[in-house]
Each structure stands twice: as C-alpha cells, then as structure tokens.
Amino acid sequence: MKSRVVCVGNLVHDEVFQVDQIPGVGIKVEVRGYESRFGGPAATAAVAISHLGGIASYWGRVGSDAAGETAIRIMREAGVDCDGVVVIPDGRTLRAIVLVDRMGERCIVTDRLSLPPERGNLPDAGLADAAVVLADTRWPRGALLALQRAREAGIPTVLDVDGGLPSVNTELVTLADHVVFSSQGLFEFAGEGDLATLLRSCVTRPGQVIAATRGPAGSLWLVDGAIVPVPAFSVAAVDTTGCGDVFHGAYALGLAEGQAPLEAARFAAAVAAIKAARGQGWHGMGDRAAVQALMAGQPAAPADPS
C-alpha cells in the first residue's frame, strides 16, 4: 500500500549556469552551459517521492506567471498532487541563480522578495490520509501551520532546516518529530561547536530525532540518545543541487513506509547519491530500482537522456 507524504514549502525557478569553478570576488568566469529548471526544498522532495513510487502532495505557492505554470505542469506529469498550490495573482514565482562547477559543487543566490513569506496559505484539505508531513523552513508560515495541523492529527512530521531566522525556526523545531538540518543550518541555529554537541542541544522533548546532513561525509543522527553516523554512497558527482531536498523527501517516504529512522536515513543517502551522479534537476531523480541497486553495491546509473 502506498503512503502519502504532504510536502509544504517553497518552489523555485532555477537558472543554472555551468562554470569551470565558482568565482571569487571580482573574478569573471565563462559559462559552459545553461539550464532553466525548477527546484525548491518541498517541491523537489515531492517530485523525488513520486519517482520513488510514493504518493506526494505539494502544498506551496507560485506567482501568476509562466514559470509557475510550467513548474506545476511538470510536477503533475511526475505524479505529484498539486491541488494544494496557491497562485498569488500579483506575485512572481521565486527564482534563483545557481552556479555549478566541474566537481558538481554549487553556489546559489535566491530572490525571495518576489513572493514574500507572509503571502499565501495552506489549503483547507485535511491530512486524514497522510502518513507523514514534511515542511521546510524557507516558508515559515506554511511550515508552522502544517506542523501544528499534523501534531493535532497525530501525524509524524519531518522538518527540513536550511536557512531562516533562528528565532522563527525555534518554534518549528519544537513542533517537529524529526528535524534534519544541513550542517550550515545547524550552525546558524545552534551556534559553533562539534555537530554531536549541537545536535543534543536542539532536542526539545523525549523521542525527537535530530540530524545534520554533511554532503559527501554523510549524515549524523541523534536517535534515542545515541549519536550515529550514516555514511554517504560514493559517486562521481555531476551536480549536487537539490541533493539535500531529495534526501529529506526520501527520508519522509521511508518513515511513511514504516522504516526506522536510521534505515530511512540510509535509503535517503542512496537517493541523494543518485541525484548527485545524474544532475538534471527534477529529471535526474532515481527510481526505486536504481536506489535498490545502489544500496546493493552496484554503481549509480546515469539518467535516461530521454
């Protein structure tokens, strides 16, 4: 039986420039390639879940523009339920400039002024058939409402913490059952220090799972009082853009399917590795067969160019 995950947060129009290296201050670089594609934490997570065979609903916002229309069309074609998307009549879909170097590392500049975080609301639809709710801190208003609704309904929640104000994120972290930071997000929220100590400082109640992703170094988890590392899968990265987002989506799906946190974390690591090896935005997602093959020790296959 398939399990539905509701993903709440941002969708972004990404303009991606391939370069030899990320430029420093005052340095000009040549562009090797360009792609117009889509991202955003919750939206990308939803697409990943659908590619993995799960049922994903995306609740978020777009502007009344061509970018928003195209993004929602692509998500629907991927099997994502987008009935919870709010179109802001006088807004512009969020956008970002992404620089990707030859090693697959990226630098992102995001414009969030075109769609202020206070704009938009969640749909009236209930969560009765949802197994897990995943929210990102990039749209704090939506995340707060979604986490509150889920808690009232007794539905497990996952919070993707990468950016946002620590004062706002504190309330979100308190509400969430599973909190997965990026390393930078953890430093911004909890201050400097070793990751294990910082993870312990974020616990707000018994049973809460706290983690931090560390790119190719894997992830670090605080589960039932124990700190446990989960290694990353070794791949030749083409583009790491969106890897954290698909990690969160796969982790939420794993929980929805009944996996224990560390089992779901390893599953998520494989999904993220395939995304890094393929690039290609939403079109580079791994399916369940590819993920199972990588977890069984087979190399990650490239995406089908079609």
Give the pLDDT mean for 137-163: 94
Give the pLDDT mean for 161-173: 91
Strand 12-19 relative to strand 95-100, pairing: parallel
> Could you identify the residue written with the tokens 């947060």?
9
| Res 257: pLDDT | 97
pLDDT at 23 over 60: yes
Lowest-confidence range among 15-24, 190-199, 275-284? 15-24
pLDDT at 296 over 80: yes
Confidence of residue 1 (pLDDT cuts 50, 70, 90): very low
Instruction: Single out the residue of 294, 295, 276 nearest to residue 48, CA to CA.
Output: 276
Greatest distance between any 2 Cα atoms in the chain: 55
Lowest-confidence range among 14-23, 48-57, 156-165, 272-281? 14-23
Give the pLDDT mean for 107-136: 81
pLDDT at 251 over 80: yes
Strand 130-136 relative to strand 157-161, pairing: parallel
| Res 306: pLDDT | 43
- Three-class secondary structure assignment of 165-204: CHHHHHHHHHHCCEEEEEHHHHHHHHCCCCHHHHHHHCCC
User: Which domains occur in the chain, in start order?
Assistant: 4-21+31-295 (3.40.1190.20)
300 vs 298: CA distance, rounded Å: 7
Q: What is the DSSP string of 210-226?
A: EEEE-GGG-EEEEETTE
Confidence of residue 278 (pLDDT cuts 50, 70, 90): very high
| Res 303: pLDDT | 58
pLDDT at 218 over 50: yes
The more confident residue out of 20 and 195 is 195
Confidence of residue 305 (pLDDT cuts 50, 70, 90): very low
Give the pLDDT mean for 24-44: 83
Give the pLDDT mean for 209-229: 96
List Cα–Cα distances, 87 to 61, 67, 150, 212, 220, in angstroms.
6, 12, 23, 33, 37
| Res 204: pLDDT | 96
| Res 112: pLDDT | 65
| Res 302: pLDDT | 58
Contact 198, 179 (CB under 8 A): no
| Res 172: pLDDT | 97
> Could you identify the residue written with the tokens 């009765």?
128
pLDDT at 147 over 90: yes
223 vs 130: CA distance, rounded Å: 24
- Of the CA atoms within 13 Å of residue 31, those in its CB half-sphere come to 9
> Could you identify the residue written with the tokens 């993870």?
199
Give the pLDDT mean for 113-137: 83
Structure tokens at 140: 């704090």
Average pLDDT, the chain: 90
Percent share of the chain, pLDDT over 90:
67
| Res 104: pLDDT | 74
65 by Cβ neighbours in 10 Å (0-12 / 13-18 / 19+) ranks as middle
Confidence of residue 113 (pLDDT cuts 50, 70, 90): low
